[in-house]
Structure 1
Amino acid sequence: MSALFPTYQRFPIVVERAEGTKLMAKDGKEYLDFVAGIAVCNLGHRHPAVQKAIETQLNQVWHVSNLFQIPLQEETAKKLTQHCDGDVVFFCNSGAEANEAALKLARKHTGRSKVITFRQSFHGRTFATMSATGQAKIYEGFGPLLQEFIHLPFNDVEALEKEMDETVATIMVEVVQGEGGVVPAEQTFLEKVEALCKQYGALFIVDEVQTGIGRTGKPFAYQHFSVSPDIITIAKGLGSGFPIGAMIGKQFLASSFGPGVHGSTFGGNPLAVAAANATIDIVFDSNFLRDVEEKGEYFKQALTEALADVDIVHEVRGLGLMIGIACKEAVANILPKIHERGLLVLSAGPNVIRLLPPLTVTKEELNTAVQILKESLAACNIVSQS
C-alpha cells in the first residue's frame, strides 16, 4: 500500500534520468518528452546554464526569508518587467499562488468583489482559484465556493457585455486555455475584455501560468494580441523545473500591496530566483523566441497535414509550441499507445491530446513526433472503425 495520497493518476513510467528533450526510464526505455513537466521545462531537462546558476547559489545561501534584502529578486524582477507591460513583481511558489495574489490585489485595489472568468478555464486548486476555475470537476465535493465568481462562455463578447458593470473587480482570462482543451482566445474577445475593464474601472488579469516564458514564441502570450493587461501571472516555465511563480502588476497597483498585506515564506527564495534569472536570460533572447515561433508554426502545419486523413482527429490548434489535437472521442486510451512508441504527451480535457515540447526541441524531433502521432492515431482510427 502506498504511503501517498492517491491524488494523481500516474503514467506507469519511472523516470531515472533526464536531459534536454529526453527522459530515460528505469526499465531502460528512452522517451521524447512532449510533456516537459506540464509546460515547466521550457529549456528542456537540466539545462546547463540553469543548473550552474542553482549550483552557484547552493554554495552561497539557500534561504533567508523576505525579511531581508534579496538582490537577485530585484534583478530578476527588472528582467521580467522589461519584457512585459508590468512594473512591479511579487514572487511566490506556484501558479495557484500567483493567481491567488492577483485576485486579492484586484479586490483590494478596486474595493469590489465580483470576478469574471470563463468556462473550461483553469486557475488553480486553492479555494479562490478553484472558485475562479470554470470546470466543475475541479471543485465538486469541496462545499461552497467563494462568492461572486461568475463563469461566462469563452470568446463570447455578447455574454461578457451583458455581465459587465461597476461591481466587477476583475476579468481573469487565459490567452490560451490549457487544461480546458488548448483553446486560443480571439483577438476581438481580448480587445473587448480590455476595453470593458477600462470602461468600468475593473482590472484586466491574464493568467500566463502555462503560456508565459516563451511558450508561444513571445515572452508572454498576450503580446500576440496587442492588449495591455494590468496584472500578469506566471509560474511553470519560469524556473525550468525549480518551483517559482510570480505576479506582475502595473505601477499604479503597488500602493495596494504594501507591507503586511500579502506575503510568502518561500516566495522569491534565492535558489528559485537563481533558476528564474538564468532561465529568462535564455528564453527572452529575441533570436530564441523567433526560433520558437517558427518551430511552432512548422509543427502545427506538419501535424495538420499528417493527420488530415485520420477520421478521429477533429482539429489541430494552438499557439507557438502549445498544441492540441482535438479528437472525436476520448483520448485516455490513446495516450498509452503514443507512449509505447516513445513519445510522451498528455491530455487537455477528455478529447484533446496536448503537446508541450521543450522550447529547445529540434525540427528533427518535431518530425519524429509527427510520425509517431500519425502512426498511433491511425492505428486507433482503424480500431475505432472495426
Structure 2
Amino acid sequence: MTLSIAELLQTHRGENFSLHERFLNSQMVKVLKTIGYDRVYTKAQGPYLYDDQGNEYLDLLSGFGVFALGRNHPKVKAALLEVLADDLPDLVQMDVSLLAGLLAQKLIQNTPEPLTRVFFCNSGAEAVEAAIKFARYTTGRSRILYCHHAFHGLTMGALSLNGEPIFRQGFGPLLPDCEAVPFNDLKALERALQERETAAFIVEPIQGKGVNLPADDYLPEAARLCRKYGALFVADEVQTGLGRTGRLWAVEHWGVEPDMLLMAKALSGGFVPVGAVAMTARIMDKVFNRMDRAVVHGSTFSKNNLAMAAGLAFFTVLEEEDLIANAARQGQALLEGLSALVDKYEFLQEVRGKGLMLALEFGKPQSFKLKAAWSLLETANKGLFSQMITIPLFKRHRILSQVAGHGMNVVKFLPPLVIGAKDVAWIVNACDQVLADCHQVPGAIWDLGKTLAGHALKAKQTA
C-alpha cells in the first residue's frame, strides 16, 4: 500500500482538534477554543495563512521567528527537493559532511570577526545547552549568569537560565550554579562577575519576553566586564538573529563581538530544524582538544543534509531578496505608524522594537471610566488586557499575534521579513480600530473582557 499524505490530509480534514484533544496536549486545544483561535488552516504562502473557508490571515508570529522568509519559499523547497532527488549519503557519522562544511563557512563569513568555528545542533535550546557545556569546560568555572525575564529554551539546562518562573515551577531541582541578574543593570552584573567564578554570561540582545531593549552602553560594557573578569560573553540570537532586527545580528546595532553566538529558528528556512553555535577557535580547540575527545559533545541529526541545505538556501534568499534591508525599512514604517497611536489612545503606553521585532505596551489610563474597566481586568488576572487586543486582531482583522509574556500587558509582533507596505498598513489600521473599540466603555469588546475575566477568576478558584 502506497502512503499518500495528500489523501490522508483530505480524508481527515478538520480532525486537527479532535486528534490533539485525544492524543496530544488537550489543554492547548482548550486554550485555542476558548479564545477563538480554533481555525483549520489548509494553505500557507509567504506571510499569509489560509483557512478552510478561504480566509487570508497575516501571520505576525512567524512560528516564533522560524518563518523569516515566510512559509513555503520556492527556493528553499527547490534546494530540499534537489537533496532528496540526488540520493546523497547522509549522517554517515564516521565521516564529515560537505554541506555542513559549506554552511559553516557561510556562517563564519557572516559573523563577528573573532568567531571562526561552528557547532551544529537541532534547535535553539540545544545551542544553549552546548554553550553551557562549552563555557564550563573552557573556563574551568561552573557559574552561568542570565537575566531576569530571559527566555533561552525549555530543556533542563536552558530552563535553568529561564527568567520566567511559570516555566520553571515544578521542574526542579534545576541545573546548579545558575544565577539571575537584572537586565540592563551593569552594576549588578559586575558584582556577580567580580567573584571570578562565572563561566559565561548568556544574554538575549533584545529580550523576547516583553521585547525589552538594552541601553546603548549595556551590551558593549557587559562584554567588556566579562573579559575583565575572565567570563565568556554569549549572545543568544536564536530569535533576534539572521535579519530580524534590521541587521544580520542584533549585536551589530551596538558593535559587540561575543565569544559565542547562538542561532536557530530562521536558519531552517522554515522547513528543517537546525541550530548552531558560532564560537572562537579558543573555545572549540579547548573542548575538542584531543582525538579521544572528538566526540565529547554532539547531536545525532544535527548535520543532516536537508537541514544544511535549508540553511544554505536561507542565506541565498536573504541576500538575493535584500530582506535585511526590507526588515529595517518595513520595521521603521511599522514603528512609526504604531507610535502615532500612542497620543491617540490612553491605553497604549509605548511602542518599541528594532526591525521586525516590535512590542505594544499597554497601561492604566487616566480617565475614570477607562480606569475602572482596566482595574476589572487586572484584578481578575494581570496582563489580561493584552488578550483584548490580540483576540479582536485575530477574529475581526485576521492578524495572528501573541501576548509578549506571562502576566504582562505587552503584545508582540514578529512578522516574516518578507512583508511589504500593504501589510504594514493592514497592521496599523487594524490596531487603530481595535484600540478605538477598547476606548468605548461599555461596548462589545468589553463584553469579551468580562468573559475573559470570568474565565480567569474561575481558573484561580480551581487552581
What is the DSSP-based 3-state SS (H/G/I as helix, E as strand, rest coil) of the residue aligned with 1:23? Answer: strand
Could you tell which deviates more after superposition, 104-113 or 298-307? 298-307
Change (3 A) 1:158 1:285: farther
TM-score for the superposition, normalised by structure 2: 0.80
What is the DSSP-based 3-state SS (H/G/I as helix, E as strand, rest coil) of the residue aligned with 2:432? Answer: helix
**1:35·1:345 contact (CA, 8 Å) conserved in 2?**
yes
Q: Which residue of 1 aligns with 2:306?
A: 271
Deviation at 1:140, TM superposition (A): 0.4
**2:219·2:256 contact (CA, 8 Å) conserved in 1?**
yes
1:173 paired with 2:203, answer: yes
Distance 2:308 2:27 in 1: 29
Q: Which residue of 2 aligns with 1:314?
A: 349
**What are the superposed Cα offsets for residues 329-375 of structure 1, whole Å, 9 maximum, x if unpaired?**
53123311100111111121131111111101001111111101111
1:120 paired with 2:139, answer: no
Amino acid of the residue matched to residue 199 of structure 2? A
**1:174·1:185 contact (CA, 8 Å) conserved in 2?**
no
* C-alpha RMSD of the superposition: 1.7
What is the DSSP-based 3-state SS (H/G/I as helix, E as strand, rest coil) of the residue aligned with 2:160? Answer: helix
Distance 1:292 1:193 in 2: 27
Distance 1:76 1:384 in 2: 57
**What are the superposed Cα offsets for residues 45-104 of structure 1, whole Å, 9 maximum, x if unpaired?**
111111111111121237425432211111111111111122111111110001111111
Q: Which residue of 1 aligns with 2:69?
A: 43
**What are the superposed Cα offsets for residues 294-317 of structure 1, whole Å, 9 maximum, x if unpaired?**
221111011101343121111101
Q: Which residue of 2 aligns with 1:91?
A: 120
- Tell me which of 401, 408, 411 is aligned to 1:345: 401
**2:341·2:348 contact (CA, 8 Å) conserved in 1?**
no
Matches within 5 A, 1:249-328: 249-258=279-288, 259-284=294-319, 287-328=322-363
Higher Rg of the two aligned structures: 2
Distance 1:30 1:19 in 2: 10
Deviation at 1:146, TM superposition (A): 1.1
What is the DSSP-based 3-state SS (H/G/I as helix, E as strand, rest coil) of the residue aligned with 2:118? Answer: strand
| Structure with the higher helix share, 1 or 2 | 2
Amino acid of the residue matched to residue 332 of structure 1? Q
Change (3 A) 1:67 1:377: farther
Could you tell which deviates more after superposition, 201-210 or 158-167? 158-167
Amino acid of the residue matched to residue 187 of structure 1? D
- Tell me which of 58, 67, 77 is aligned to 2:94: 67
Change (3 A) 1:146 1:235: same
**1:15·1:24 contact (CA, 8 Å) conserved in 2?**
yes
Deviation at 1:327, TM superposition (A): 1.5
Deviation at 1:287, TM superposition (A): 4.0
Distance 2:321 2:71 in 1: 22
Q: Which residue of 1 aligns with 2:424?
A: 366
Amino acid of the residue matched to residue 85 of structure 2? N
Q: Which residue of 1 aligns with 2:46?
A: 20
**What are the superposed Cα offsets for residues 247-293 of structure 1, whole Å, 9 maximum, x if unpaired?**
11011111133211101011021101111110012224694322321
Distance 2:77 2:428 in 1: 30
Distance 2:240 2:149 in 1: 16
Q: Which residue of 2 aligns with 1:3?
A: 23
Distance 1:157 1:377 in 2: 37
Identity %: 35
Q: Which residue of 2 aligns with 1:219?
A: 248
Change (3 A) 1:104 1:284: farther
| Structure with the higher strand share, 1 or 2 | 1
Change (3 A) 1:164 1:369: same
Distance 1:222 1:285 in 2: 23
Distance 1:249 1:147 in 2: 24
What is the DSSP-based 3-state SS (H/G/I as helix, E as strand, rest coil) of the residue aligned with 2:388? Answer: coil
Q: Which residue of 1 aligns with 2:9?
A: none
Q: Which residue of 1 aligns with 2:455?
A: none
Amino acid of the residue matched to residue 57 of structure 1? V
Distance 2:414 2:245 in 1: 10
Could you tell which deviates more after superposition, 80-89 or 224-233? 80-89
What is the DSSP-based 3-state SS (H/G/I as helix, E as strand, rest coil) of the residue aligned with 1:326? Answer: strand
Matches within 5 A, 1:236-255: 236-241=265-270, 242-255=272-285
Deviation at 1:27, TM superposition (A): 3.1
Change (3 A) 1:308 1:122: same
Distance 2:324 2:56 in 1: 28
Matches within 5 A, 1:184-223: 184-223=213-252
Q: Which residue of 1 aligns with 2:104?
A: 77
Amino acid of the residue matched to residue 68 of structure 1? D
**What are the superposed Cα offsets for residues 148-170 of structure 1, whole Å, 9 maximum, x if unpaired?**
11111110111112111211100
Return 5+ residue gaps in structure 2 as ranges. 1-20, 289-293, 364-382, 447-463
**1:219·1:284 contact (CA, 8 Å) conserved in 2?**
no
Distance 2:167 2:147 in 1: 14
- Tell me which of 54, 57, 73 is aligned to 1:31: 57
Could you tell which deviates more after superposition, 114-123 or 373-382? 373-382
**1:65·1:265 contact (CA, 8 Å) conserved in 2?**
no
Amino acid of the residue matched to residue 23 of structure 2? A
What is the DSSP-based 3-state SS (H/G/I as helix, E as strand, rest coil) of the residue aligned with 1:55? Answer: helix
**2:342·2:349 contact (CA, 8 Å) conserved in 1?**
no
What is the DSSP-based 3-state SS (H/G/I as helix, E as strand, rest coil) of the residue aligned with 1:171? Answer: strand
Return 5+ residue gaps in structure 1 as ranges. none
TM-score for the superposition, normalised by structure 1: 0.95
**1:207·1:234 contact (CA, 8 Å) conserved in 2?**
yes
Could you tell which deviates more after superposition, 307-316 or 139-148? 307-316
**What are the superposed Cα offsets for residues 9-42 of structure 1, whole Å, 9 maximum, x if unpaired?**
4431222100011100123221011111111111
Distance 1:7 1:134 in 2: 24
